[in-house]
Structure 1
Amino acid sequence: MPRIRALVVDDEPSLVRVVAAYLRREGFDVTTAGDGHEALRVARQVHPDVVVLDVMMPGIDGTEVCRQLRTFSDAYVIMLTARAEEIDTLVGLSVGADDYMTKPFSSRVLVARIRTMMRRPRADAAQSDGAGSPEAAPVRRFGELSIDPEAREVWLGEQMVVLTPIEFDLLSTLSSRPGTAFSRTRLVQQVWGPAWFGDERIVDIHLGHVRRKLRDDPGAPRYIRTVRGVGYRMGAG
């Protein structure tokens, strides 16, 4: 198996050294950066599989780095926050991160989070019952919205909608069973995998990003509907 390429970005040199050393001991190919400008330059050069990114940095902060990163990279992004309250702020920002951890954190837990993301089952594979020979999944249509599970493409009318891997997997999971209410726990298990652990509000964050990209008003949804006390579902009515 190829080594996982990790980029660690933080303006605290001591934290960068500790995290980088631990990741290297675990077999990762690690590159580091001390600020947002350097992070974007290095990411274009090394094409990381995962980016561990601090939120609060001088110059370009982590949320802006993540936004710019998403224009040229589909790397998994784990945001590091100094306070738990910052996660609530990130909920309202469409920055495209895949996971969030609060400082101080355990390097062992960080590695576990990364490995879980890298090996998590894709949504459509998780839903296969294994019966019969594999067949190409049909394109799913919801009014103007088209979801192609095989090509991993989403179209809104004639315009392609660019989603992160996790955003696509959440949308694909919901669209695989229109009208079925999925709890946050079930979505976490099917998208992140049963070994994932953390705050289930991450589902709300990512589906908030998807709704914005689909121009789907939560107050009058066309595609993704909130089921109070349960979670989310797709479909009219």
Structure 2
Amino acid sequence: MASSILRCHAMPYSILFVEDDAELAELIASFLARHDLNVQIEARGDTALAAIAAAQPDLVLLDIMLPGKDGLSICRELRPVFDGPIVLLTSLDSDINQIMGLELGANDYILKTTPPSVLLARLRNHLRHARGSTASTPAPSGSPGHRRLGFGQLLIDPLSRDVRLDGHSIVLSTSEFDLLLQLAQHAGSPLSRETLLQATRGVGYDGLDRSIDVAISRLRKKLGDNPDEPFRIKTVRNKGYLFVPSSW
């Protein structure tokens, strides 16, 4: 498989839906198609990665229980080479599976019992955010939002979306990079979950969403932070998360 999967950004949005229940897949695909989303269905887990590479979708909608290879394994293998949203759509109402899915790089975890209109709204939100973060017109390189950020051995380039630590390239998903950039641009000031969710995903904090916590955990692991006593991205009680500029 190629080392990277590139996605085209021509309208309308395209979705590859990995689902082995043919009737359910057709029902959801037909509903989404009526709302201007192009949906391609792939029925097996062991052929999903090849199908994604060929289709270059804007978003991958992924069941967990699949023949050939399960959705969590697909998510783990896909995340390093696919920068678009990965949404798990499953009948498994399990906190453990939700945490695992988000840890492996999924952007969202949605139950199949969710009303179609809510599913549509959540998919559109992920698609808008992904396209906005990768296809927006770049500002001049000298503008504040696009200057390289340097903290000791850490270098963040907003234009190339490249992160290097001690000279080594750090592979981050789109959502992880956006989160790190927000934290680094406000280095020394704690940011709340609500602020981070709004800035990176365009959604409000409902008091239950743990996706920011999971993403912070992934960032700490990739950036060499101490998971037990973080010193680079600290948790500030009742305030949120703090990027420590002097710790790199």
TM-score band, normalised by shorter chain: 0.7 to 0.9
Counterpart CA distance in 2 for 1:176 and 1:78 is: 28
TM-score normalized with structure 2 length: 0.83
| Residue equivalent to 2:72 | 63
SS class of match (1:233): strand
| Residue equivalent to 2:61 | 52
State whether residues 46 and 69 of structure 2, in contact with CA within 8 Å, keep that contact through their aligned partners in structure 1: yes
Between Structure 1 and Structure 2, how many residues are aligned?
Answer: 229
Q: CA deviation at 1:158?
A: 1.5
Q: What code does the residue aligned with 2:172 have?
A: L
Counterpart CA distance in 1 for 2:207 and 2:68 is: 30
TM-score normalized with structure 1 length: 0.86
1:164-203 deviations in Å (ceiling 9; x for gaps)? 1111111100111111111111111111114787952111
State whether residues 52 and 77 of structure 1, in contact with CA within 8 Å, keep that contact through their aligned partners in structure 2: yes
- Structural mapping, 1:40-119, within 5 Å: 40-85=49-94, 87-92=95-100, 94-119=103-128
1:125-158 deviations in Å (ceiling 9; x for gaps)? 9xx9xxxx94563322233221112221111111
1:214 to 1:138, Cα distance in 2 relative to 1, 3 A: same
Counterpart CA distance in 2 for 1:115 and 1:196 is: 18
Question: Is 1:185 the counterpart of 2:194 in the alignment?
Answer: yes
Q: Which moved more, 1:168-177 or 1:70-79?
A: 70-79
Match of 2:241 among 229, 232, 236: 232
SS class of match (2:39): strand
Match of 1:166 among 134, 157, 175: 175
Q: CA deviation at 1:69?
A: 1.5
Instruction: Give ranges in structure 2 of 5+ residues lacking alignment.
Output: 1-9
Q: Which moved more, 1:137-146 or 1:147-156?
A: 137-146
| RMSD over equivalenced CA pairs, Å | 2.6
Q: CA deviation at 1:219?
A: 2.0
Percent pairwise identity = 34
| Residue equivalent to 1:24 | 33
1:222 to 1:72, Cα distance in 2 relative to 1, 3 A: same
1:163 to 1:99, Cα distance in 2 relative to 1, 3 A: same
SS class of match (2:146): coil
Q: CA deviation at 1:66?
A: 1.1
Q: Which moved more, 1:198-207 or 1:146-155?
A: 198-207
Q: CA deviation at 1:57?
A: 2.0
Instruction: Give ranges in structure 1 of 5+ residues lacking alignment.
Output: none
Match of 1:215 among 184, 202, 224: 224
Q: Which moved more, 1:156-165 or 1:138-147?
A: 138-147
Counterpart CA distance in 2 for 1:163 and 1:196 is: 23
Match of 1:152 among 158, 161, 170: 161
Counterpart CA distance in 2 for 1:29 and 1:181 is: 40
SS class of match (1:60): coil
| Residue equivalent to 2:11 | 2
